[in-house]
Amino acid sequence: MNPSKEALTFLLAPVAGGMERMRTILAAQIADASPAVRDMTDHVARFQGKQLRGALVLLTGEATGNSTDEHAAVAAIVELIHLATLVHDDILDGAEVRRRVACVNQRWDNQVAVLLGDFLYARAFALSTQLSSRLCSRLLAETTRTLCVGEIEQSTRRYDFEMGQETYEAIAAAKTASLYAAACELGARYPGGNDELGARMARAGRNLGLAFQIIDDCLDLTGEQETVGKSVGTDVEDGKITLPVLFAYREADERVRAAVRDAYTRPGLADRRSALRAACDLSHGLERAQARASELVEEARSEIARLPESDARRSLDAAVTFVLARNQ
Amino acid sequence: MNPSKEALTFLLAPVAGGMERMRTILAAQIADASPAVRDMTDHVARFQGKQLRGALVLLTGEATGNSTDEHAAVAAIVELIHLATLVHDDILDGAEVRRRVACVNQRWDNQVAVLLGDFLYARAFALSTQLSSRLCSRLLAETTRTLCVGEIEQSTRRYDFEMGQETYEAIAAAKTASLYAAACELGARYPGGNDELGARMARAGRNLGLAFQIIDDCLDLTGEQETVGKSVGTDVEDGKITLPVLFAYREADERVRAAVRDAYTRPGLADRRSALRAACDLSHGLERAQARASELVEEARSEIARLPESDARRSLDAAVTFVLARNQ
């Protein structure tokens, strides 16, 4: 059973008004007076998913008794930054361009995606400078830097089968979990309240984001495109060695290891994910990765359990659990 | 005679101390604790040119009697944003990738350039949120949006030979001149002073930036790579119809127009710029474009002439004239 978007909407009932305001702000920010930019909003709209990061700002705000009139705008800014990263993830490298667009005239797609992502980042920062407090600008500028550094670090670790779990988690914390942490911290602290509660919620957000990334990495190995809602097997294609593979590789003998490396690197291989699944038994690595994700979710939940009892706290707890449920 | 970088350094003597502080701040911002990012600083360093935009912040500050301890940081932020745009300009489209990297393994260059540009934008915004006034964050976030919209508009106008001078200038104003305008406005106004003087200096900066773009476009048609210091003929390759070509096209008869269009579009043409120069007489279009640049520079100079007499004003005037001299 895969929890549907409708189920998530139900979970978010305590912040339904805030989500609606967030979506209104987002729509206004994504639109632009320039017709050329307006033509691209469809392109961006198709990336809009569950808006979990924005929801976390609102839920954490409610659950910590820290909701302000500006929380919806903060949530919209967090979502804009997330959208910008998704648009930039779409940039193709040379190899992919050669592989995918041989017959299609996608001549300008890369530049357009870069500019559109930059536009979304700029919108996010411009909106943040209009808020009454500078906390949002400061925290999210720093978080954006961390996201980029995480992605850059990841690109240098491609095909690194000797990478330890710590390195994997440090990269995932930077490239993914930092925005979850910022969303929860801003929810709890914006416009500049309780530092200690902010730090605790940031930690909960970080653990949740890390769990999200691990589950995402598992789904890339096991999921089907129709269920997951995006291309699968791309990590294997791109040489990204994820936690389940690291676990499986570490336990394998040299013959199996060679077969795994071969699945990632042999030139011209059409379906690397199938080759990887044939090369080794991933089930134990997947189990261990999922266990690690559960552990992280439990850490986040125990932080949330310290908050006073409320509808928002229950929703926050359910939203956190939802991240794990994606894989069932 | 092409004014050398040394001549520009001499011109900048009144703000030499500020330029030095700006460079120190820039170096610290471009560096990062992450080894993977540090490895890329060489890549960024090679883009650092005349730092004219940063110099304009400092010169305008001095010339308007508005220098603060934070002007060097503002100048560094403006340069970081400019660097980010240059890095993102390096993103190759599919066609170029196929053309240029057929034999070279540049598999990750596009992604790395995107992330590095994002990192520089994030650094710029993070630094701006540390300043005492929010004016810099606000103005530069808005300017970054304008830069992106200008580039996007330009990409929709490729191969548009019917585009009017007004459209060309509106695009150049957005994609290039807006950062010059912001640099001069921040110099004159930061941390939040005289709006009217700021608006006048913004106008001077805008005219200067527009002139800069027009001269750049002329050099792309006439210059040699060794002299100009970057690839030439790329506008013709990329289908960008610049002011001198618009002027030449408008005056040509249909036979010549067809030959011009052919130079831009015939598949497989190896040297489009030579084909364009053979297809029509560009000299009159170039003269008219240069006359327009001179006019814009004179407008900027007349604004500068209204400032009180000082070394900084003389340098600002000389720096503005320098933009035209690039082409002599």
Chain A hits for B121, CB-CB cut-off 8 Å, are 118, 121, 144
Contact state of B138 with A130 under an 8 Å Cβ cutoff: yes
Q: Identify the closest residue of chain B to A129 by CA–CA distance.
A: B138
The predicted pLDDT at position A124 comes to 97
Residue A326 lies in a domain: no
Evaluate whether B12 touches B19 at the Cβ level (below 8 Å): yes
Residue carrying the six token digits 């139900």: A10
Distance CA B153, CA B156 (A): 5
Q: What is the pLDDT of residues A73-111, one digit of tens each?
A: 999 999 999 999 988 887 765 445 444 433 223 445 678
Chain A hits for B39, CB-CB cut-off 8 Å, are 156
Residue B215's CATH number: 1.10.600.10
The predicted pLDDT at position B104 comes to 29
Contact state of A119 with B40 under an 8 Å Cβ cutoff: no
Burial group, residue B305, by CB count within 10 angstroms (0-12, 13-18, 19+):
exposed
Distance CA A321, CA A324 (A): 6
Contact state of B111 with A123 under an 8 Å Cβ cutoff: no
pLDDT at B43 > cutoff 80: no
> What is the band of B38 on the pLDDT scale with cuts at 50, 70, 90?
confident
Distance CA A140, CA A178 (A): 10
pLDDT at B69 > cutoff 70: yes
Angle (CA) A277 A280 A281, round 5°: 85
Contact state of B126 with A108 under an 8 Å Cβ cutoff: no
Q: Running DSSP on this structure, what letter comes out for residue B46?
A: T
Q: Which of B114, B119, B145 sits opposite A114 (nearest CB)?
A: B114
pLDDT at B100 > cutoff 50: no
Chain B hits for A115, CB-CB cut-off 8 Å, are 88, 148, 151-152, 155
SS3 B198: helix
Q: Identify the closest residue of chain A to B32 by CA–CA distance.
A: A149
Angle (CA) A247 A250 A255, round 5°: 125
The predicted pLDDT at position A107 comes to 41
Handedness of CA B214, B218, B221, B224 (dihedral sign): negative
Residue A300 lies in a domain: yes
Q: State the Cα torsion B49-B70-B150-B296 to the nearest 10°.
A: -70
Q: Which of A36, A91, A134 sits opposite B156 (nearest CB)?
A: A36
Residue A93 lies in a domain: yes
The predicted pLDDT at position B327 comes to 52
SS3 A106: coil
Phi (first) and psi of residue A22, to 5 degrees: -60, -45
Phi (first) and psi of residue A269, to 5 degrees: -65, 130
Distance CA B273, CA B251 (A): 19
Closest Cα in chain B, distance from residue A90 (Å): 9
Centre a 10 Å sphere on the Cβ of residue A94 and count the other Cβ atoms it contains.
23
The predicted pLDDT at position B97 comes to 45
Distance CA A67, CA B149 (A): 34
Evaluate whether B312 touches B59 at the Cβ level (below 8 Å): yes
Distance CA A270, CA A265 (A): 11
H or E, element range at A65: none
The predicted pLDDT at position B214 comes to 97
The predicted pLDDT at position A97 comes to 45
Mutate one of B149, B171, B179 to test the A interface: name it (highest A CB count within 10 A): B149
* For chain B, percent of residues with pLDDT exceeding 90: 71
Distance CA A61, CA A187 (A): 4
Chain B hits for A129, CB-CB cut-off 8 Å, are 134, 137-138, 141
This complex has an ipTM of 0.90
Burial group, residue B108, by CB count within 10 angstroms (0-12, 13-18, 19+):
middle
Closest Cα in chain B, distance from residue A154 (Å): 9
Q: Running DSSP on this structure, what letter comes out for residue A133?
A: -
The predicted pLDDT at position A328 comes to 43
> What is the band of B45 on the pLDDT scale with cuts at 50, 70, 90?
low
Q: Identify the closest residue of chain B to A95 by CA–CA distance.
A: B107
Evaluate whether B211 touches B321 at the Cβ level (below 8 Å): no
The predicted pLDDT at position B93 comes to 55
Closest Cα in chain B, distance from residue A56 (Å): 23
Q: Identify the closest residue of chain A to B144 by CA–CA distance.
A: A122
The predicted pLDDT at position A60 comes to 97
Contact state of B36 with A101 under an 8 Å Cβ cutoff: no
Contact state of A145 with B119 under an 8 Å Cβ cutoff: yes
The predicted pLDDT at position B234 comes to 87
The predicted pLDDT at position A223 comes to 87
How many C-alpha atoms does A174 have within 13 Å on its Cβ side?
18
Contact state of B141 with A149 under an 8 Å Cβ cutoff: no
Evaluate whether B244 touches B276 at the Cβ level (below 8 Å): no
pLDDT at B135 > cutoff 90: yes
Which CB contacts under 8 angstroms, 24+ apart, belong to B101-106? B101/A94, B106/A94
Query: What is the Cα gyration radius of chain A?
Result: 20
* Closest of B19, B10, B149, B133 to residue B79, by C-alpha: B19
Contact state of B125 with A144 under an 8 Å Cβ cutoff: yes
Closest Cα in chain A, distance from residue B218 (Å): 23
Q: Work out the average pLDDT over B142-171.
A: 94
Phi (first) and psi of residue A104, to 5 degrees: -115, 140
Contact state of A95 with B109 under an 8 Å Cβ cutoff: no
Bigger pLDDT: B86 vs A2: B86
Handedness of CA B105, B106, B111, B112 (dihedral sign): positive
pLDDT at B95 > cutoff 60: no
Can you list the alpha helix ranges (DSSP code H) found in chain B? 5-11, 16-30, 35-38, 41-45, 52-63, 71-89, 94-100, 109-128, 135-156, 165-172, 178-189, 195-222, 225-228, 234-238, 243-251, 254-265, 272-279, 283-305, 311-325
> What is the band of B103 on the pLDDT scale with cuts at 50, 70, 90?
very low
Contact state of A92 with B114 under an 8 Å Cβ cutoff: no
Evaluate whether B127 touches B77 at the Cβ level (below 8 Å): yes
SS3 B170: helix
Distance CA B301, CA A11 (A): 62
> Domain range for residue A86?
5-319
Contact state of B94 with A114 under an 8 Å Cβ cutoff: no
Contact state of B145 with A129 under an 8 Å Cβ cutoff: no
Chain B hits for A173, CB-CB cut-off 8 Å, are none
Chain B hits for A147, CB-CB cut-off 8 Å, are 118, 122
Domain count, chain B: 1
Q: Identify the closest residue of chain A to B30 by CA–CA distance.
A: A145
Considering the entire predicted model, what is its pTM? 0.92
Query: Is the preceding peptide bond at B191 cis, omega within 30 degrees of 0?
Result: yes
Distance CA A222, CA A232 (A): 8
Closest Cα in chain A, distance from residue B160 (Å): 14
> Per-10-residue mean pLDDT for chain A, 328 residues long?
64 93 93 77 70 96 96 97 88 50 45 88 96 97 96 91 96 98 98 94 98 95 80 88 97 96 94 94 95 97 97 94 74
Distance CA B17, CA B21 (A): 6
CA B37 vs CA A7, A183, B112: distances in Å: 41, 25, 10
Evaluate whether A220 touches A232 at the Cβ level (below 8 Å): yes
The predicted pLDDT at position B209 comes to 97
Give the pair of three-digit tokens for residue A65. 């008794």
Give the pair of three-digit tokens for residue A240. 């990204």
Mean pLDDT (chain B) is 89
Q: What is the pLDDT of residues B259-304, one digit of tens each?
A: 999 999 999 898 999 999 999 999 999 999 999 999 999 999 999 9
Q: Identify the closest residue of chain B to A153 by CA–CA distance.
A: B36
Closest Cα in chain A, distance from residue B191 (Å): 15
Q: Name the packing angle between helices A135-156 and A178-189 (round to 10°).
A: 170
Chain A hits for B108, CB-CB cut-off 8 Å, are 93, 155, 158
pLDDT at B106 > cutoff 50: no
**Diameter over CA atoms, chain A:** 61
Q: Which of A34, A88, A138 sits opposite B152 (nearest CB)?
A: A34
CA A99 vs CA A96, A237, A268, B145, B182: distances in Å: 5, 12, 10, 33, 42
Closest Cα in chain A, distance from residue B262 (Å): 19
Centre a 10 Å sphere on the Cβ of residue B192 and count the other Cβ atoms it contains.
12
pLDDT at B1 > cutoff 50: no
Q: Which of B106, B116, B118 sits opposite A94 (nearest CB)?
A: B106
Q: State the Cα torsion B73-B78-B82-B88 to the nearest 10°.
A: 80
